[in-house]
Structure 1
């Protein structure tokens, strides 16, 4: 019985090219009590592997958080499978605005302590006492009011390339870092201001809204379905789009364009750019913003040092990576001192 992915990303990409079929990138989450996450995880893997579903899925006692790529021709089969699970029946599926058949190249279903690393002790507050969900039209009206504080619940590298106008965008590396920082900054407005939050697909706001209500905020709202669903409703209902730039997404695309505005800069030359890449040096793999010109000049690396490394034979690069405890900078996400035009702390 196969319970884990056995193909490399390169092998999977070749199979996708060979098939030449459309795939749908989508995401969903659901908080629910799962008694045996490992058993549920194995059930999902067996079913989805058979359907040729790819993606990154986290399962915990508190629920599921999934980002997926599904063959378009098998979408109905996939939806029927979800509807056969009590707590996932009619769950909202956030369909990507921009499709890419190679958004995911492996099926990874992992059991985690939590479906979002929020650092909260859920036993200390009522996680079901959430904020008011609002749709795109209501959200547009709400954020124009004088008694509203609009907060981006994402991390610095996400909001850097796109955010709603007039939003507070905490300069943080992780979701857990933002929670206490936002409370401290807004502590004088817990009663007289409406706290309105948004994130990529809505999952971070689900827990955060309950946390802030527990902390004394009287009026808490959250954008239902996050930026992904907002963009869909704006297009479908012909609403004014108040999001500027790109929506960062956690797959190989790294971003979906929501408006034509480019609000960030290439981290190497400073010209307007909002294309995230990973450094081509596998010992670095730093996530940063790089324009086409710098990509060509720097051979898709973040620094002269990394450019020199990838010019070496691959076997030599592998040897250099051995035993270096801080070799992989993937979690720094644009913070490297080698980036002249990075977002400042």
Structure 2
């Protein structure tokens, strides 16, 4: 008994820096499967569930970013192929997540995440809404890719993109309403305003994997919209279905994803432009000046010329000694310049 008390408590968090994590990932001699899933379900003890999932997935060498809240789970992660069956079996053994549907990445090199992070949040998707503004048990009709295409072709539906402007810039469905918002919180009231007076028309909602549409459909139904539909599994599963069933592809361009890939092609079209030179490009990158970290679109030529930075100022900064860069990071943080920001096209 005394011996067991001396055992160190297991660390339920990552202990390595990015460089070490990258070396470990590059040295792997097996493949990984990138997967995303979500479920709205009441979780009574969120902290306990968080620790349970972290320990379970750490044992299986899974990597990813997972949010847990009282209202459910939102996960983007990768799983070693040789541990996939164990991953599914263990997750489905948890009552709240039994038979949760998975969305598998269509373009996947297994390098989507470097570490495992399971974080507790107030909501799995931040919306800023009081609970009286929606009922997640009263959501829209879920559509297959074929049903989605048919309703789009009918010409009677209004297609609404429930993603942020930097996501829609590189890819979207033909003729979709594209809100000019940087956060889901900003987007909900904007969409409601754009759709006013059209409560009786068929509304087609879509997003990356379906989770934002789930809440949006409940929000619109709460505000009097009668015919609300959502793309089941989002763009990720739409890409899988049209490929397997040889269906027409109504999506133009690239799907933004929230991992180190920052995107996967759904069609071969490039519908966006480099934010620095204006040439066709759909490659997002974060400015190499860590103090800046601006997310923007940069073509290969500009990436080489500007060394992966967004401005002359940032390019100068990355050549300073590390001690000076650290001073700048602290100063920019003090000035509020390190908040997550996104570049818009000129």
TM-score by length of 2: 0.95
TM-aligned CA deviation for residue 100 of structure 1: 2.2
Q: Is the 8 A contact 2:293 2:340 kept in 1?
A: no
Equivalent position to 1:250, from 235, 247, 258: 258
Q: Secondary structure at the match of 2:34?
A: strand
Q: Is 1:260 the counterpart of 2:268 in the alignment? A: yes
- Cα 1:195–1:276 change in 2 (3 A) is same
1:317 equivalent in alignment to 2:325: yes
> Match of 1:230, SS?
helix
Deviation at 1:292, TM superposition (A): 0.5
Q: Which moved more, 1:321-330 or 1:214-223?
A: 321-330
1:306: how far off? Answer: 0.5
**Cross-structure match for 1:44:** 53
Identify the match of residue 67 of structure 2 among 44, 58, 82: 58
Q: Which stretch has the larger CA shift, 245-254 or 114-123?
A: 114-123
Cα distance in 2 between the residues matched to 1:194 and 1:97? 29
SS at match of 2:75: strand
CA contact 1:285–1:328 (8 Å) conserved in 2:
no
Q: Tell me the equivalent position of 2:286.
A: 278
1:76 corresponding residue in structure 2:
85
Question: Which consecutive residues of structure 2, in runs of 5 or more, have no partner in the other structure?
Answer: 1-9
2:163 is equivalent to residue 135 of structure 1? no
Match for residue 164 of structure 2?
155
* Residue of 185, 204, 220 corresponding to 1:176: 185
Relative to 1, partners in 2 of residues 1:159 and 1:326: Cα closer, same or farther, differing over 3 Å?
farther
- 2:7 paired residue number: none
| Residues 27 and 95 in structure 1, CA contact (< 8 A), matched pair in contact too | yes
User: Using the alignment, how far apart are the partners of 1:290 and 1:95 within structure 2?
Assistant: 27
Is 1:200 aligned to residue 220 of structure 2? no
Which residue number in structure 1 is paired with residue 301 of structure 2? 293
Aligned counterpart in structure 2 of residue 186 of structure 1, from 181, 185, 195:
195
CA distance in 1, matches of 2:153, 2:65: 36
Report Cα offsets for 1:255-308 as digits up to 9, x if no partner: 001100000000000000000000000110000000000011111100011011
TM-score, normalised on structure 1?
Answer: 0.95
Three-state SS of the structure 2 residue aligned to 1:285 is: coil
Secondary structure class of the residue paired with 2:84: helix
SS at structure 1 position matched to 2:117: strand
Q: CA RMSD for the aligned pairs?
A: 1.2
How far has the Cα of 1:139 moved from its partner?
A: 0.1
CA contact (8 A) 1:286 1:333 kept: yes
Q: CA deviation at 1:241?
A: 0.6
For 2:146 and 2:84, how far apart are their aligned partners in 1?
28
Cα–Cα, structure 1 residues 103 and 289, in superposed 2: closer, same or farther, change >3 Å?
A: same
Question: 2:249 matched to 1:241?
Answer: yes
Q: Distance in 1 between matches of 2:183 and 2:280?
A: 25
Deviation for aligned residue 1:327: 5.6
SS of 1:128 mapped into structure 2: coil
